[in-house]
Structures are given as structure tokens and as C-alpha cells.
Amino acid sequence: MPIKNSAAIEKEQKGFHTRFLSEEAKQQLTNDFKQAKKRLIFLDYDGTLTPYAKHPLMAKPGEKLLLLLKCLSDNLNNDVIIISGRGKATLQEWLGLPDIALAAEHGAWIKEKHCGWKLSGSFASDWKPKIRLILQQYTDRLPGSFIEEKDFSIVWHYRTANEKLCLTTKTDLLHTIAADAKAMDIEILQGNTVIEVRAAGANKGIAGIYWIEKKQPDFILAVGDDITDEDLFFVLPETAYSIKVGTSPSFARYHLSENQQPAVIELLEELAKS
């Protein structure tokens, strides 16, 4: 486990002080965006740029969203990075616009503009067969659940499963996997109707630091809705505009309510016009 510096410890001790993104705060964000010359825009995908779908493959971006992202990325002052838990093949197919950077599997894979994919670190995958077997056992127990496998993570989805059965089944599953987590060097995440098991160290904070150090921006916007986005929010400087879609505790500077995902698009449209 990495040793935290004093600034990180102080930030963690302060806890969560997220406030609602008011019109006044939104106006200040827009003004700072207009004045900046080197902007980083980190955007989560599912639940942020698009609503959650019953199945991951049903969340493909529409033409309107793609045009918006292209408009943002066409501005030479902007570096747009889609940073998602999705696999790199899906991100490439759906969002592989020439001037957009991508980070797949929560930052395990990164792709700069006009470049190929590369790993952001060294991540183990030898734990996957055992975890896959466990997840399959629970998938068999819970009709409607299914497994999604990536290079360095495996996700158990239960969005379409019986709600009453979900509670007991996922509690048992978490208990079973937790017994092996430390020895296998993996992390267990509870997302929006998913349980994800991933290689330790593969997170959005790593990807965020990579681009911040490389670009040295004078403006940062980061928007996300899931627990995985907290890794990114945590490493951002205090001057960054970080926005959590949802009202659960967060390291983000601002939040929107759960039903305000369309407000993210409205904000990006306004920035695209700037």
C-alpha cells in the first residue's frame, strides 16, 4: 500500500464537504473555463454522459452526444478524456474520436490522442479464474444476473435480477470474495447494481495524475457518478471543478442530484459554445 503524504492525509481527514452546484457556482465555473488556456476535462461515461441502461451494450452513444464531444475536443485549448470502467474495445468503438483521449478499465489502459493503447502500470490477472468461478456460481443462483469480463477486472451485473433476491445473494457474494481479496491483491467495488472485482492499483486517480502531470492545465473539470470516480476526485487539486452526479458522500467539490444527469450535458453544451 502506498504511503500517503501529509497533504493526502489532511484531505482525507477533512472528509466530505460536497455542495450543490448552484447557478452561481456554475457561472463561476464557466467564467474560469473561458479565461483558461489549457483545460483538462475528465468525463465518466455510464451515469454521467449517458443514463444507465438495463444491459451495458444498450448504452451506446447517440449522434448528439458524439457531436458534443467532437465540438469540445475540436477546441485546441481543451483536452477531453473519457475515463470509464468500460473495456478498451468498447470505448474505442463507441468514442474513438481522433481528438479525444480515453482511459479504460478505470485507468488501467490509457490512450492519448492520435496514439495507441498502453498500460498505465503493471497489473495482475492470475486471480481471474478463481473469481470467475465464484461469480458464475452466484450467477447461477440469481436469474437475470450476468458476468462481464475485461482484461484486469470482472463485473457481476444484477440490474435486471429480482430485487428481493439480490440483497441476500450479493451480500453472500461479497462475503465470499472478501475472504480472498487481500491474498489475491484485488479490490472489490460496489457500483450501481454491479459488483466489480479488479486488479489492485488500477483506478481513475492513476489516470488523472498521468494527464495532469503531462498537460499542466490551468483549468480542470471532472464529472462522475460512481464510487470509482472518487479515486479521481481525491487526487485533483482544490482548484479543480469536480462534480458528483448523486448525493452520496464524495470528495467532489460539487454535486448534482441523481436525476440530474441531463444537467451534465447542458453544462458541457454551454462550455462547448464558449
What positions carry a catalytic annotation? 44
Angle at 120 between CA 118 and CA 253, to 5 degrees: 125
263 contacts 27 by C-beta, under 8 angstroms: no
Cα–Cα distance between 68 and 88 in angstroms, integer?
A: 21
| Grid cell at residue 77 | 485549448
Cα–Cα distance between 5 and 2 in angstroms, integer?
A: 9
Strand residues in the chain grouped as ranges (E):
19-20, 39-43, 78-83, 100-104, 109-111, 117-119, 146-149, 153-157, 186-190, 194-199, 219-224, 241-245, 254-256
Q: H helices within 4-149, ranges in order? A: 6-14, 23-35, 63-74, 88-95, 128-141
201 contacts 121 by C-beta, under 8 angstroms: yes
228 contacts 251 by C-beta, under 8 angstroms: no
Crossing angle of helices 261-272/23-35, nearest 10°?
Answer: 30
